[in-house]
Amino acid sequence: MRFLIDGMLGKLNRWMRILGYETEYAKNKRDDELVNSAKHSSSILLTSDEELYRTAVTRGVDSFLIRGKNENERLAALAQRYNIRLTIDPDLSKCPLCGSSIKQVSKADIETLVPPTTFKVYQSFWKCANPTCAKIYWHGSHWKKIEQTLETTRKLHDSEKKHSEISNSEFNTSRRHYSSKVGKRSNYMLY
């Protein structure tokens, strides 16, 4: 699954890459360029712009209108719609800056590339495979915040999923009740 993410969703773009999804962050493209690019690359267009969303849908582009006040709500909605995983697997994660894959590297290989205290305290390191980026990553103090955000998002997603299942169940019960009053079960009576 590949995503084209509009310029208003930079933070969401980084999260999607960390979670291991292939994204193109299009912060300098006009709306028509975004729609055409998504269509030609068979990408899912993620946008918070309602007009862009409507244009994309009208042109047959798989699109999702991002709503939500924070990244937890936005990621939970994406998980609900596209079944994205809300866990980090370093073997699948992409570089949040450039989108290239990251690879675990030996501690000895990065000794001169990280601060001495970081080298001393942490044991596992990953490096962006793109030589022009080559950013080094480790599970530093920020890792706890990342895990907390994902835990909150998973709870929100589970809650939305449960609510959706209850709503579907209530819909089906209401439909059966209505059909029985009409005297027969009707497959075309959807309301």
Distance CA 81, CA 177 (A): 29
- The predicted structure's pLDDT at residue 93: 96
Confidence class for position 142, pLDDT limits 50, 70, 90: confident
Q: Is the dihedral of CA 49, 52, 56, 57 positive or negative?
A: positive
Distance CA 70, CA 152 (A): 11
- Return the SS3 of 102: strand
Contact 60, 133 (CB under 8 A): no
pLDDT tens digit sequence for 15-60: 999 999 999 999 999 999 999 999 999 999 999 999 999 999 999 9
CA 114 to chain centre: 29
Contact 39, 63 (CB under 8 A): no
Q: Where do the H-state alpha helices sit in 42-92?
A: 50-58, 71-82
pLDDT tens digit sequence for 63-120: 999 999 999 999 999 999 999 999 999 999 999 999 999 999 999 999 999 999 999 9
Angle between helices 10-18 and 71-82 (to 10 degrees): 60
Residue with tokens 């999702």: 64
* Domains defined along the chain, listed by start: 2-88+143-182 (3.40.50), 91-140 (2.20.25)
Question: 45-48 contacts: CB < 8 A, separation 24 or more?
Answer: 45/3, 45/4, 45/6, 46/3, 46/4, 46/5, 46/6, 46/9, 46/12, 46/78, 47/5, 47/6, 47/8, 47/9, 48/6, 48/8, 48/9
Question: What is this structure's pTM?
Answer: 0.82
Residue type, 177: H
**How large is the C-alpha radius of gyration of the chain?**
21
Half-sphere exposure of 24 toward its Cβ, with a 13 Å CA cutoff? 16
Of 158, 162, 153, nearest to 70 by C-alpha is 153
